[in-house]
Amino acid sequence: MTATSGLSVDLLGLTRVFGSVRALDGFDLHIAGGELVALLGPSGCGKTTALRILAGLDTATSGAVEVDGKDITRVPANKRDMGMVFQAYSLFPHMTVLDNVAFGLKMRGKDKGARNQRAGDMLDLVGLTEHGGRYAHQLSGGQQQRVALARALAIEPSVLLLDEPLSALDAKVRAQLRDEIRRVQLEVGTTTLFVTHDQEEALAIADRVGVMNSGRLDQIASPAELYANPATPFVAEFVGLNNKVPTTVASGRAQLFGMEVPTIEGSISSGPGLAMVRPESVTVSTDGATNGRVASVNFLGPISRVYLTVGEGATRSA
């Protein structure tokens, strides 16, 4: 269940130009209160730029930023009341874990007792209570990012911003911390923007996923909707694995390997095209309608990926 105590966020027509590069090109995004939205896209698509503009760490060439309906476009970063977790480890090396978490509260003039109490509660939330007296270099990468999360949440931010916080971690820790971020976010109900280039991460954690391409939002939808009904070829290609198969469409049905397959909404209704077929939609059997030769099999633990040579030598995965 998603909490709804957070504030809504609107990025309105954001454009950011770096020299001759348009990192953002009329970017629009609405995040409802308490929602976790993941921005997904390849390197250089503008997702981090959008997040930094929301945080006040970068300035938009044009466009506006609104939180709870209030325009904060010109408000400096230290007055925006946003918690942020960075891709790079960002704990202050000369402070203990407890002092790191309490730093934002100190900046808000809270007395020592109150800020240590709150910092302790936040460390408890991320399961690091006993590490309060340690320094950053005495923690693992995963622990450092959990402290950074606690630090960002300690100030009770109106919006939580996560800039690829898991990308420096190994796979197992990444999955654990991803689940923990979601648990904590649901618990505190803070509106959250999560930037990542990892589709699995985005699909697993977010209420909605926005796929960015060349400074624009190609599609924003729930993970299931995004996966099942990609709005553009870019989204279809970027999210999940695909087989690209030349086809002919007639009356909303595509001819594939001698079979007629229904197309999804938004596809062309007739004529030649390129079908994108999810590997899990293909079943490999000995008595199918299409003949192919198994080129290779990759064992991936819970699943195996089978590469088939079909027709005139094209290799498909299933």
Partner 1 sequence: MTRSPLNRAVRGIFLLLVALFFAIPLYSMLDFSTRDIANPGHRTGYAWSLLVKDKDLFASILTSVSLSVLTVLLMFVLLVPTMIWVQLRVPKAKRLIEFICLLPLAIPALVIVVGIRNVMLWVNYFVGHTPFALSLPYVVLLLPYAYRSLDSALSAMNANTLAEAARSLGASWLTVFTRIIAPNIRAGMVSAAFIGIALVLGEYTFSSLLHYDTLPTQIVVMSKAEARTSVAASFAMIVVVSALLLGLSFFTRDRSTTEGT
Helix (H) or strand (E) holding 90: none
Considering beta carbons, is residue 107 or 274 the nearer one to partner 1?
107
Cβ 78 to partner 1 shortest distance, Å? 5
Phi-psi region of 266 (alpha: psi -120 to 50; beta: other; left: phi over 0): left
Cβ 213 to partner 1 shortest distance, Å? 26
The closest alpha carbon to 191, from 56, 6, 30, belongs to 6
CA distance 22 to 46: 9
Cβ 152 to partner 1 shortest distance, Å? 8
Q: Does 55 bind partner 1 (CB under 8 A)?
A: yes
Which of 80, 115, 178, 316 binds partner 1 (CB under 8 A)? It is 80
- Size, binding site for partner 1 by CB under 8 A: 35
Q: Does 84 bind partner 1 (CB under 8 A)?
A: yes
Terminal Cα-to-Cα distance of the chain (whole angstroms): 34
Question: Contact at 8 Å (CB) between 166 and 197?
Answer: no
Q: Does 176 bind partner 1 (CB under 8 A)?
A: no
The closest alpha carbon to 92, from 78, 83, 102, belongs to 102
* Site map 121..140 versus partner 1, x via CB under 8 A: ----------------xxxx
Considering beta carbons, is residue 144 or 317 the nearer one to partner 1?
144
Cβ 188 to partner 1 shortest distance, Å? 17
Site residues (CB under 8 A) for partner 1, limited to 139-168: 139-141, 143-144, 148, 151-152, 155, 161
Cβ 21 to partner 1 shortest distance, Å? 16
CA distance 83 to 90: 13
Q: Does 18 bind partner 1 (CB under 8 A)?
A: no
Q: Does 82 bind partner 1 (CB under 8 A)?
A: yes
Which of 2, 78, 269, 315 binds partner 1 (CB under 8 A)? It is 78
Cβ 18 to partner 1 shortest distance, Å? 13
Question: Contact at 8 Å (CB) between 164 and 195?
Answer: yes
Cβ 291 to partner 1 shortest distance, Å? 52
* Site map 85..114 versus partner 1, x via CB under 8 A: -x-xxx-xxx--------xx--xx------
Contacts (Cβ under 8 Å, ≥6 apart) of 125: 150, 153, 184, 187, 188
CA distance 276 to 255: 12
Considering beta carbons, is residue 160 or 212 the nearer one to partner 1?
160
> Taking the mean position of all CA atoms in its chain, how far away is CA 25?
20
Considering beta carbons, is residue 78 or 296 the nearer one to partner 1?
78
Question: Contact at 8 Å (CB) between 41 and 212?
Answer: yes
User: What would the DSSP string read from start to end of 126-192?
Assistant: TT-GGGTT-BGGGS-HHHHHHHHHHHHHHT--SEEEEESTTTTS-HHHHHHHHHHHHHHHHHHT-EE
Cβ 77 to partner 1 shortest distance, Å? 4
Q: Does 248 bind partner 1 (CB under 8 A)?
A: no
- Binding site residues, partner 1, CB under 8 A: 55-57, 76-84, 86, 88-90, 92-94, 103-104, 107-108, 137-141, 143-144, 148, 151-152, 155, 161
